[in-house]
């Protein structure tokens, strides 16, 4: 038995690729099936945010004289 991926033969590399492919498909399938049902109770309404008066932001505590 080879314990190194560098000295492994072609069939060992093929087994690793097949196992990784099956695991990737399983994870993707689980992710897709986890959110297939659409429940309208979680639907969010859009909010309209209107612009107000302009605001000056500064990092000093000095008062501004205009």
Give the model confidence (pLDDT) of 46-61 as tens digits: 788 788 888 777 777 6
Domain of 7 in residue numbering reads as 1-35
Judge whether 19 lies within some domain.
yes
pLDDT digits (tens, 9 = 90+) for 27-49: 999 988 887 665 555 666 778 87
pLDDT at 49: 79
- Cα separation of 61 and 9, whole Å? 71
pLDDT at 15: 92
Judge whether 63 lies within some domain.
no
- Cα separation of 2 and 9, whole Å? 9
Count the domains in the chain: 1
Judge whether 44 lies within some domain.
no
Taking the model in full, what pTM does it have? 0.48
Band of pLDDT at residue 14, cut at 50, 70 and 90 = very high
């Amino acid at each position: 038995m080879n314990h190194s991926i560098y000295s492994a033969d072609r069939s060992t590399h093929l087994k690793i690729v097949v196992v990784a492919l099956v695991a990737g498909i399983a994870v993707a399938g689980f992710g897709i099936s986890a959110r297939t049902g659409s429940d309208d109770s979680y639907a969010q309404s859009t909010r309209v945010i209107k612009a107000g008066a302009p605001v000056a932001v500064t990092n000093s505590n000095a008062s501004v004289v205009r």
